[in-house]
Amino acid sequence: MRDLTSIRNDFPILQRKVNGHALAYLDNAASSQMPAQVIRAYSDYHERYHANVHRGVHTLSQEATEAYEGARDRVRAFINASNRKEVILTTGTTDSLNLVAASYGDTFLQKGDVILISNLEHHANIVPWMQLAAKKGLEVKVIPITESGEIDREAYVSLLSPKVKLVAVNHVSNALGTVNPVKWMAEEAHSIGAVIVVDGAQAVPHMTVDVQDLDCDFYAFSGHKMCGPTGFGVLYGKESLLSTMPPYRTGGDMILSVSFDKILFNTLPYVFEAGTPPIAAGIQLGAAIDYLTSIGMDTIAKMEHDLLVYATERLSVIEGLRIVGTAPEKAAVVSFVLDGIHPHDVGTMLDEDGIAVRTGHHCAQPVMERYGIPATTRASFAFYNTTEEIDRLVASVHKTIELFR
């Protein structure tokens, strides 16, 4: 097991000062930082073998293709997909979820069918289904959550019926950190013939994810939350489902042949990957997976859980501070509100002390509505964070309270 100092030295940005203070980056649920090993993968590609993939017979193209497709193989192993055909490379979680809605949903859901969406969802796992429902005459029903921020299990089971054809849920809530019982939810959904679509953006960077064990039908995540690049992500889908779905976009590598008489589409996974991909980003994602694997996902989960426990203990005793989302099973996210102080003011004050947190509704407005609040301040931790940074967060919160009161 590598020591924390060694790990932190891998991240150049952690050496930065903000407003005269050492950066304490606690906004990892929005985007994690990138280690030097992943940064180098980008420059190495551009300096040594920049070329288009899949189409060239020359050396550079072959090397680029090998590196890019190698990233797909790393993803397959990382999430334990049964084969590489089930790994679709996309621009991110949002693109992946839209792909499922536009291809699977538009093809197989019919008027009167029901979609279940949890009250914990990011907008990216709400809006595509609402749009599809409006287009096709579907009904959307909401799975409620408890006061602690957990899926209401009894309500979920009661909502399941033969009319339910699709369940959309996140693995980990970006707003509260709740870890949802996805494996159990998948079993229940399958028992009535529904498919389950999982937003895994907040889970894959922080814990071991085994899509075969979860038995989810679709699973989406993004590179930029797992020490990788922006603008790149993954859709996992069961081959039995992907093979029945029409193309989402057309052009480029998703085509085998074109004439004015007939068009032949490529096979999985390429049929869902139109156009020239962000090659360097794909290679970077492969490097990010290598980096996370070198530390170990179980180790990462333990380090982040320890930070969550420490932060929860330190913050929960502050008078006038309320933590929103207290589920027993949580990722390293602490969302809170301060009596009489708007989260945006809190975030501004923390930034003056070099502490980066997220404030707002976190693209999860239904969650905020559930608790009757406009926004929260969210501190989210990664394995490279420290208890000292949490101490600085606590001290800055105290200072903010003194200033505003």
The CATH number assigned to the domain holding 24 equals 3.90.1150.10
**214 and 327 assigned to the same domain:** no
- Cβ neighbourhood burial of 83 (10 Å; 0-12, 13-18, 19+): exposed
Rounded to whole angstroms, the Cα distance separating 300 from 158 reads 36
185-194: pLDDT as tens digits: 999 999 999 9
Q: Is residue 312 part of a domain?
A: yes
**238 and 327 assigned to the same domain:** no
**91 and 116 assigned to the same domain:** yes
Domain region containing 153: 40-293
Distance from first CA to last CA of the chain, Å, rounded? 45
107-146: pLDDT as tens digits: 999 999 999 999 999 999 999 999 999 999 999 999 999 9
DSSP 95: H
**201 and 65 assigned to the same domain:** yes
Average pLDDT over residues 84-91: 98
Q: What is the pLDDT of residue 55?
A: 82
**288 and 267 assigned to the same domain:** yes
Rounded to whole angstroms, the Cα distance separating 373 from 129 reads 25
Catalytic residue ranges: 363
At position 321, the amino acid (one-letter code) is L
Rounded to whole angstroms, the Cα distance separating 198 from 168 reads 6
Identify the domain boundary among 266, 293, 320.
293
**266 and 284 assigned to the same domain:** yes
pTM: 0.97
Q: What is the pLDDT of residue 2?
A: 84
Q: What is the pLDDT of residue 338?
A: 98
pLDDT band at 225 (very low <50, low <70, confident <90, very high): very high
Identify the domain boundary among 293, 318, 334.
293
Total structural domains within the chain: 2
Pair 235, 103: CB distance under 8 Å = no
**59 and 100 assigned to the same domain:** yes
The CATH number assigned to the domain holding 82 equals 3.40.640.10
**67 and 149 assigned to the same domain:** yes
User: Does the pLDDT at position 340 exceed 90?
Assistant: yes
**116 and 58 assigned to the same domain:** yes
User: Does the pLDDT at position 315 exceed 90?
Assistant: yes
Q: What is the pLDDT of residue 191?
A: 98
